[in-house]
Amino acid sequence: MHLSDPYTIPYKGIYAVADSNNEFVEIMEQSNCYGGSAWALYHYSKSPLVVKGRAVGDMMRYLVRTGISKLSLQSSVAAAGIESVIVNDNEIEITYSGLGGGGVGATTCRANANGVLRYKITESGGGKHANGTIIVPRRERVLVGIDNTDSKEVGATWTLAHNIASAADSIEHKYISHTLVQLYPVPDKTQNCVATVLEFACIESAKKGLLDEIRKGLLEYSVSNETGMVAMTDFDAASLMEYSRLCRSRMITKDLTIRTAVENHVDICIHGKGIIGALAALPWFSNNNESVII
């Protein structure tokens, strides 16, 4: 057995999206070791800057306020945390701190993650108190809603959406999450009446290329004439929740969908009837347990 670095487990990737005012950032850390990341999630969620911490699959997600905080680290109780999150133009600087093994996570494990541009770290491990700062690109959240790609004979929208998103995935537009959203079972549904929302963490200049690629994939592989694709750049898409709840409780018209999309600055990329469910899917991104309940 040969271990090239026995005391480091690099995160697969670390990505951060900011709101339009740079007041809030969501840090998304894709884990290579769920056990270690779950420990970090428990401790980091106690940090003053952290509004909410949660795990979605292998992704640890921290909604944080930007700024600088003072941590009072204590072994076993609050052994690691996020000290600061600062947005500088097109970059976000995140500083972590930890004791012992928590310090290893705060330094080498995060410094070596995909998506990190630069880093500054202190020595870590043993009984040391360690600090690590990583700089990552400032990203925007791009949400893509998709519905009606299948037919009574073949296909499933959620599988096609995931496969296209995986093919489109890149460091410039990182594929973050895939969520199925149960809709009201209208009479002309294929079977289960479920739409899909894809979430990407996107560098601003890469947005158009991403949407073009997804649209091209849908037009090539969809077997329906009513495919709908919509896209929105938004930190939370909360403005669409009222529309979504309406769509999940009764039949609504395509005209209402188009008006709602225009009012909320949503791009309609493919104009089939599927835009009704595609738009309703957007605000449920990464809320996979809630979105499947009608």
Write down the pLDDT at residue 188: 60
Q: State the pLDDT at residue 118.
A: 95
Longest dimension (CA), the chain: 64
pLDDT score of 155: 73
pLDDT at 189 over 60: no
Please tell me the distance from the alpha carbon of residue 47 to that of residue 50, in angstroms, as a whole number.
5
What is the number of other CB atoms lying within 10 angstroms of the CB of residue 287?
Answer: 15
On whether both 85 and 217 belong to a single domain, the answer is no
Q: Of 138, 159, 184, which residue constitutes the final position of a domain? A: 138
Shared domain check, 129 and 170? no
148 φ/ψ sector (left φ>0, alpha ψ -120 to 50, else beta): left
Residue 30: per-residue pLDDT: 97
The band of 248, judged by pLDDT with boundaries at 50, 70 and 90, is: confident
Does residue 191 register a pLDDT over 70?
no
Q: What's the pTM?
A: 0.94
Out of 115, 138, 161, pick the residue that ends a domain.
138
Same domain, residue pair 283 and 222:
yes
Assign 192 a pLDDT band (cuts: 50, 70, 90). Answer: low
Cα distance between the two ends of the chain: 51
Domain that residue 59 falls in: 13-138
Given a cut of 70, whether residue 190 has pLDDT beyond it is no
Instruction: Count structural domains, the chain.
Output: 2
Domain finish residue from 97, 120, 138: 138
What does the radius of gyration of the chain's CA atoms come to, in whole angstroms?
21
**Can you tell me the mean pLDDT for 37-48?**
93
Collapse the DSSP code of 225 into the 3-class scheme (helix H, G, I; strand E, B; otherwise coil) and give the result.
coil
Are residues 287 and 152 both part of a single domain? yes
* 184 and 119 together in one domain: no
* Residues 121 and 155 both lie in one domain: no
Going by the DSSP 8-state scheme, the letter that residue 179 receives in this structure is E
